[in-house]
Amino acid sequence: MSFTARVKDELSRIDGSCDECAYGELSAIMRICGTLSLRGEDEYFMRMSTETGSVARVMIKLIHGLFDLDTPMRVQRSNLQRARNYLIDIPDQGKLAGVLARLGIIVPGRSQQSGIPTQLLSRRCCRQAFVRGAFMAGGFIADPARDFHLEIALAREELAQGIVGLLVPFGVDARINHRRGSSVLYVKSFDEVVSLLRLMGAELSVRDVEKARWVKSLKNEVNRRVNAELANQARSIGAAADQLRLIDDAERLVGLKNLPHALKEFCLTRRRNPTVSLAQLGRFFDPPASKSAMYHRALRLERLVDEALDETHVRTRDDVLTSDLPHPSC
């Protein structure tokens, strides 16, 4: 079961806080899942479609419980996607027009309602029920182990804008994107996703999302520490290689036996331990030396080598100048 299906299954088991909540929830579901047609002058027909069994169950329960309408259902299977599609028909039965008007789907004497049915949403709990129904009908939520993203696909821009307005007092800043002729309401941050799930009453799903973020955070911290350790090791190995080259230069230019005792001990110990860090290198001394002491010995050795190089260059230059002078016998 996908995470979206799990969330919808949880929402399908939530009852509204008041009697009017069921009307708001069913209104949203029928607005998004339903296709309304007119047969004859005053005879309506609605077909609702969903791929989620729990949502089909909610549709039938609410329609039967609130209006006692017949709802013949059939299940179609897609050979390509191997998915079930639940088709629920609501014939007119002499009272469908009144039902649609009660749910704010049509306006008597006019046409279909384009925005939200404000007459059903005077209470906070009813607004929550409407959003819950909208998500069950057209919602998607990404697996929180991969991404934090929740969206509701809506056919009408006015309905999308209306739901965005409903979410503002709950502290949810939803955005709208237009995709293939639909208006898609979405939130993309952890805080927004959790707030919207909590608004709809999906507390179990909230805990799943919070756990996923905790796991992500733990993995990121482990990766950060591993990367930092690898970087430190790379720097230590690079520094050790530079020190070994410096020791070779010191042996060639000065001679290790001519070095002060502390520097000679440093060179010999480094050669015996060519890959360890300066802090680890100091532990091989008796008594143990600090990382700072090792660093200053490396600096002293570098200065000695630089001085020896400068002296060598001076001698080489003097030899060249001397060779250019005429011989006394000439």
Q: What is the pLDDT of residues 178-235, one digit of tens each?
A: 988 889 999 999 999 999 999 999 999 999 999 999 998 888 888 888 888 888 878 8
Look at residue 82 and tell me whether its pLDDT is greater than 80: no
- Site of tokens 């927004």: 192
Beta strands 175-179 and 182-187, pairing class: antiparallel
DSSP helix/strand/coil, 328? coil
Q: What is the DSSP letter of 120?
A: G
Cα–Cα distance measured from residue 71 to residue 61, given in angstroms and rounded to the nearest whole number = 10
Q: Name the CATH architecture for the domain at 3-201.
A: Roll (3.10)
Segment among 261-275, 286-300, 312-326 with least mean pLDDT = 312-326
- Site of tokens 């014939």: 91
What tens digit of pLDDT does each residue of 319-330 get?
544 555 455 554
Asked if residues 62 and 26 have their Cβ atoms less than 8 Å apart, the reply is yes
If pLDDT is split at 50, 70 and 90, which confidence band does 312 have? confident
The distance between the two most distant Cα atoms of the chain, rounded to a whole number of Å, is 136
Asked if residues 71 and 88 have their Cβ atoms less than 8 Å apart, the reply is yes
What tens digit of pLDDT does each residue of 18-73 get?
999 999 999 999 999 988 888 777 788 999 999 999 999 999 999 999 999 999 99
Beta strands in the chain (DSSP E): 34-38, 44-50, 73-77, 84-90, 139-141, 150-154, 175-179, 182-187
Beta strands 139-141 and 175-179, pairing class: unpaired
Cα–Cα distance measured from residue 255 to residue 124, given in angstroms and rounded to the nearest whole number = 87
Cα–Cα distance measured from residue 201 to residue 198, given in angstroms and rounded to the nearest whole number = 5
Q: Which residues contact 170 (CB under 8 A, 6 or more apart)?
A: 128, 195, 196, 199
What tens digit of pLDDT does each residue of 86-126 get?
999 999 888 888 999 999 998 876 677 888 999 999 999 99
User: Where are the domains positioned within the chain?
Assistant: 3-201, 232-322
Beta strands 150-154 and 73-77, pairing class: unpaired
What tens digit of pLDDT does each residue of 219-268 get?
888 888 888 888 887 888 888 888 899 899 988 888 888 888 999 999 99
User: Looking at the DSSP assignment, which residues form a beta bridge with residue 48?
Assistant: 34, 88
